[in-house]
Amino acid sequence: MNTLTFRLLEVFQQVVDCGSVTAASNALQLSQPTVSLQLKKLNSIIGLPLIEHFQGSVQLTEAGAAVYRCAQEILSSQDKLKSQISALQGVEVGSLKLAVVTTAKYIIPPMLSPFCKQHPNIDVRFTVGNREQIAERLMQNRDDLYIFTYPPEDDDLVCEPFLANPLVVIAPPDYDGPDNCSLADLQNAKFLLREKGSGTRRTLDEYCDKRDVLLRNNMVIESNEAIRLAVSAGLGLAVLSQHTLDQSAIDSVKVLNVTDFPIQSTWQVVTNRRRPISLSAQAFRQSLLENQRT
């Protein structure tokens, strides 16, 4: 296996991450035949099939999964070495791969903006997805930092809280039902809820379970924005993170005064011990943790 190169691993990782040879060739600015040839060469070196094509998408074989994990570790270490050498030379460069659950997209950009201005040469890749999608990226070790309220349980993860995530009950602007009440007083109202598995839904379900509150009349909507707009249009009540309510949203809905609310969860920045952390990722993680102390 002495002919294995960084370039072969980089091409393979890009094919897996992009999902196709075509997308990977565009990302790498290489021709499709060149990418295909590199994959063929890597398959020959390993001696086992690495990927399979199923319904137009790339699927990893068991050997492919092992090579992919190895590629991530090697290329991450390479990036970290480049950053360290650049730092010694007085030049700040590097990359930061950041993956966040959907509700976190309201809180991370304001924190990321000053960081990018302070470190203009760092290449930031910002991915947003639902909890299941981001957890899958975490299990595949695809990013430097992850933002969750409820990270997956794994001994290899380092989870550090950095910001409160208050949940509030919202109603249409012309709502004239119960207010200054408990959630139990509202349990017969129609609630627009996030999907099972989302952090918001988990916090609400745990609160309801502890107090024997059953929200019988509900509709599941897999988007904070869609829930907010539906509430504004009069379709029902909802429980959302206060971070999702900017000034325009606050003007279009009514925040109810409900006992125990806002209920609290906590945003956590997550790293994987299996992935060497780059200097840029260390710096941004530190900025998040310092935010907690201010």
- Tens digit of each residue's pLDDT, the chain (294 residues): 557 888 888 888 888 888 888 888 888 888 888 888 888 888 888 888 888 877 667 788 888 888 888 888 888 887 777 767 766 654 466 788 999 999 999 999 999 999 888 888 888 999 999 888 999 999 888 899 999 999 999 889 999 999 999 999 999 999 999 999 999 999 999 999 999 888 899 999 999 999 999 998 999 998 899 999 999 999 999 999 998 887 556 668 999 999 999 999 999 999 998 888 888 888 899 989 987 655
- The residues with which 193 forms a beta bridge, in sequence order, are 220
**CA distance readout (Å), 250 to 62, 169, 171, 199:** 50, 12, 10, 22
Letter for the amino acid at 223? S
- What is the per-residue pLDDT for 86? 67
Would you state the torsion angle of the CA atoms of residues 57, 65, 2, 40, taken in this order, to the nearest 10 degrees? Answer: -20
Report, in angstroms and rounded to the nearest whole number, the Rg of the chain calculated over CA atoms: 23
Contact 169, 259 (CB under 8 A): no
Return the residue matching tokens 């991915």: 127
Round to whole Å and give the CA distance between 197 and 86.
41
Cα atoms found within 13 Å of the Cα of residue 31, Cβ hemisphere only: 3
Output the pTM of the full model.
0.71
Instruction: Write out the two tokens for 3.
Output: 């002919």
Residue that has been written with the tokens 């010694």 in this structure? 88
Phi, psi of 197 (to 5 degrees): 100, -20
